[in-house]
Amino acid sequence: MGRTSVVTVLLVDDDTLHAEQLAEMLERQGFVCARERTVQQAETALAAQDYDAALLSLTLSDYSGLAALALLQTLAPKLPIVVIAAPEQETLALKALHQGASDHLVRGQIYPMLLERSIRHAIEVARARELQVQTEQALQWERDFSSTVIDTAGCLIVVLDAQSRIVEFNRASERMSGYASSELRGERLDLLLPAEERTAVSAILRSLANGRSFSTHENHWISHDGSRHLISWSTTAMRDESGQVEFVVATGIPITDRRKAGEAVGSGEMKYRELCDDSRGAI
């Protein structure tokens, strides 16, 4: 579609008198009109420049109405097309609308204000759709990017909804738990927790819901094979515009091996100290 303030309209109609009348109406309403008699000429015109909208007669002698519409839609997928049908072609006009035409006008019943309103509305709807597509693509890119970051992260990442149900569960979490993310989405976090730790974890999640924005804690996970893993968590609440918790994002680091290593070091120091204390010689 055109980017200037001047609205350009491609008129495709092989009825000379009718086309002249429409072109005059368009120009009187401030549009720039390019007239073509055949679909082949319209194809050449579309290849040469962009238009904001098209007016297409469904009574062309060189092309059937719906076929002409389909060709223009292929040549310019984003171009809003208003079709013009004869009074007896109501069924054809409805088929054109079902095929994607923006609007339809009845030949012999077109006046300047109606013509302008139809074209401007078609352009506004087309631009709104284009903006919606761009927004959806941008959101999808953000979702894909976020999903990639979450999945490739080395730490455990679990996203919960306001009811503590699992929304996202990254690959590191899958490896640690032995569960596939598809198995756990929609399940409560309690499924992974030992029974004796569920109350404490629930209290932490409630504190986030009641205004706390960040929390650090440790708890165990019970994996699919029954093994226990101690994990250190950093948990953040994400709120909506009203301040209500929408998601809770928990980032975890397994510390079972580190804890065991620390206990082993502590045990070795104790044995060494006992040995020194019991020794009668000087060390």
Q: Residues 153-210: pLDDT tens digits?
A: 578 989 999 899 999 898 889 988 999 989 999 999 999 999 999 999 999 988 888 8
Would you state the pLDDT for residue 140? 74
Widest distance between CA atoms in the chain: 123
Instruction: Check whether 12 has a pLDDT greater than 60.
Output: yes
Q: Which amino acid is at 129?
A: R
Which residue carries 């759709």 as its tokens? Answer: 129
Number of domains in the chain: 2
Q: Are 255 and 228 in contact (CB under 8 A)?
A: no
Would you state the pLDDT for residue 149? 60
Which residue carries 């301040």 as its tokens? Answer: 243
Give the domain range for residue 230: 153-264
Q: Which amino acid is at 73?
A: Q
Q: Is residue 278 part of a domain?
A: no
Phi first, then psi: give them for residue 53, nearest 5 degrees.
-160, 165
End-of-domain residue from the set 115, 141, 167? 141
Q: Tell me, yes or no, whether 120 and 32 share the same domain.
A: yes
Q: Is residue 277 part of a domain?
A: no
Q: Tell me, yes or no, whether 136 and 179 share the same domain.
A: no
Would you state the pLDDT for residue 240? 86
Over residues 3-15, the mean pLDDT reads 84
What tokens were used for 198? 């569920």
Work out the mean pLDDT of the chain and round it to a whole number. 85
Q: Tell me, yes or no, whether 123 and 172 share the same domain.
A: no
3-state helix, strand, coil in the chain (%, to 5): 50, 25, 25
pLDDT band at 131 (very low <50, low <70, confident <90, very high): confident
Q: Residues 77-104: pLDDT tens digits?
A: 999 999 999 999 999 999 999 999 999 9
pLDDT band at 282 (very low <50, low <70, confident <90, very high): very low
Would you state the pLDDT for residue 150? 60
Considering the entire predicted model, what is its pTM? Answer: 0.54
